[in-house]
């Protein structure tokens, strides 16, 4: 038995603010910086499927953010696990939707204030969920400005400990 993990290479996005869907493919989306592509494809754990051996081999870190990145990188780099990418059969096929709402604690698919991905009609796989999503949306606070995607730092320096402002961070107040 081997440590193995697969993840989606493309997915849908759902925004509670407008109850709208987008299709995201980090490999081809023109708004995704080249330096972000690999981290976006392998770092979002909402679509991971992995073997028990992978789970036992590489622990998820006890952190509020980027635990998926560390898990995947450890399996890939340290343990040489089998890693696969799965493409959705089509943009119309609804399997998972990475959701953005005002209480998000992690980063989402934005480049600055620009939402990544392309607008799509409601994928058929999600149509039956819309009444539930509409009900939830009334309980979510008003939108805040989006947080930009920040690629993960090296495994030895968890992103939760990295500076969030200052020279070279790309955040407000940063100077070079």
CB 32 within 8 A of CB 41: no
Nearest Cα neighbor of 129 from 6, 12, 49 is: 12
pLDDT digits (tens, 9 = 90+) for 101-160: 877 766 689 898 899 999 999 999 899 999 999 999 888 876 656 566 666 655 444 444
- Which pLDDT tens digit goes with each residue over 43-94? 888 899 999 999 999 999 998 778 898 999 999 999 999 999 999 988 888 8
What distance separates the 2 farthest-apart alpha carbons in the chain?
50
């Amino acid at each position: 038995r081997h440590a193995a993990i697969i993840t989606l290479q493309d997915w849908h996005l759902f925004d509670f603010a407008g109850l709208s869907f987008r299709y995201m493919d980090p490999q081809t989306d023109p708004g995704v910086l080249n330096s972000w592509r690999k981290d976006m494809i392998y770092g979002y754990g909402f679509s991971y499927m992995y073997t028990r051996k992978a789970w036992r081999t590489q622990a998820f870190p006890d952190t509020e953010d980027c635990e998926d990145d560390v898990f995947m990188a450890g399996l890939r780099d340290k343990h040489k696990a089998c890693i696969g990418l799965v493409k959705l059969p089509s943009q119309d096929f609804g399997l998972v939707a990475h959701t953005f709402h005002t209480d998000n604690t992690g980063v989402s698919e934005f480049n600055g204030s620009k939402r990544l991905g392309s607008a799509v009609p409601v994928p058929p796989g999600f149509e039956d969920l819309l009444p539930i999503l509409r009900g939830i949306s009334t309980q979510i606070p008003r939108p805040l400005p989006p947080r930009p995607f920040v690629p993960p730092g090296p495994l030895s320096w968890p992103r939760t400990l990295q500076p969030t402002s200052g020279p070279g961070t790309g955040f407000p107040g940063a100077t070079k």
